[in-house]
Amino acid sequence: MRVSVETSVARHIGDRREQQDRVAVLTHPSHPGALLVALADGMGGHSGGAMAAEQIILAARQNLEAFSPGTEQPTQLLNTLVQDAHSSIRLSRFTSEQDPHSTIVAFMLYRGRAYWVHCGDSRLYHFRDRRIILRTRDHSLVGELQRRGKLTAEEALHHPQRNVLISCLGSDRTPQAEVGSYHSIVAGDYFLLCSDGLWNYFSDEELADTLASLPANDAAQHLLDLARKRAQGNGDNISLAIVRFVAAED
């Protein structure tokens, strides 16, 4: 059975003064089967966060355009993307007199296989039909406390330090990025990339049901609208990207 791909992206400024999230769906100029989705949640005073997120999207575009399947693996591209973006953000500190940082989550599809990298608390979810296959681990203080069994998921949502990250791009420390892959993509697989401005308001089950029930564009709009409603006038920037695999006629 052939499988086709639906993609959709959405952003909202939320109730903040500036949109510091960035998200992009990119295709290779000469290899139609190579797709790269990058999402960044910028952090920093004034326009510093937006600038950091922009550096990530720029690095994603440059690395995909330079990707050579004969000599480079997708995982190498993703690792290089993180390193290049981190270096660019660090350099911008000297020219902008700001302190920019950003999370990153990136997804690459190549020859029917999925690859991803993330650093920070922007997430990638992998669902199959209505089952969750994978959710990336947050590089945050509350995420670490949860992994140690010192905090429940419910307590983490309301913890006063829930926004403190232990790894991101642009900091003094080398990013602790994690790379993963999945080599068996089938119809009924859904990947969701999103910032914490979205996932804070949904359970895994809600996300799975929405993605399984609606086309990519409708699902993105539904999640965006519901997150805004649940934020009750105190919402963060929101960004999301959906990659949905559906059966196609031969």
| Phi and psi based region of residue 133 (left: phi greater than 0; alpha: psi -120 to 50; beta: remaining) | alpha
> What share of the chain has pLDDT > 70, as a percent?
88
Q: What pLDDT, in 10s, does the model give residues 135-170? A: 999 998 766 666 666 566 665 666 656 677 989 999
Q: What is the DSSP string of 155-177?
A: HHHT-TTTT-BS--BTSSSPP--
Least confident piece of the model among 42-51, 75-84, 163-172, 195-204: 42-51
Residue 38: predicted pLDDT: 98
| Phi and psi based region of residue 92 (left: phi greater than 0; alpha: psi -120 to 50; beta: remaining) | alpha
Report, as an integer, the average pLDDT of 162-185: 89
Residue 156: predicted pLDDT: 61
CA angle 60, 239, 235 (to 5 degrees): 145
Residue 16: predicted pLDDT: 93
Report, as an integer, the average pLDDT of 96-117: 91
Q: What is the pTM of this model?
A: 0.93
Residue 88: predicted pLDDT: 95
Q: How confident is the model at residue 47 (pLDDT cuts 50, 70, 90)?
A: low
| Phi and psi based region of residue 199 (left: phi greater than 0; alpha: psi -120 to 50; beta: remaining) | alpha
Q: Residue 98 pLDDT > 80, yes or no? A: no
- 12 with 45: CB under 8 angstroms? no
Whole-number mean pLDDT of the chain? 90
Residue 141: predicted pLDDT: 72
Q: Residue 52 pLDDT > 80, yes or no? A: yes
- 10 with 210: CB under 8 angstroms? no
φ, ψ of residue 16 in degrees (nearest 5): -95, 165
Bigger pLDDT: 133 or 249? 133
Least confident piece of the model among 19-33, 88-102, 134-148, 179-193: 134-148
CA angle 84, 90, 95 (to 5 degrees): 120
- 186 with 127: CB under 8 angstroms? no
Q: Residue 56 pLDDT > 80, yes or no? A: yes
Q: How confident is the model at residue 222 (pLDDT cuts 50, 70, 90)?
A: very high
Q: Residue 241 pLDDT > 90, yes or no? A: yes
In Å, what is the CA distance from 113 to each residue of 33, 36, 110, 182? Answer: 10, 12, 5, 6
Residue 130: predicted pLDDT: 92
Residue 138: predicted pLDDT: 93
| Alpha carbons 192 and 169: distance in angstroms, whole number | 21
- 56 with 104: CB under 8 angstroms? yes
In Å, what is the CA distance from 90 to each residue of 18, 24, 122, 138, 229? Answer: 21, 22, 20, 22, 36
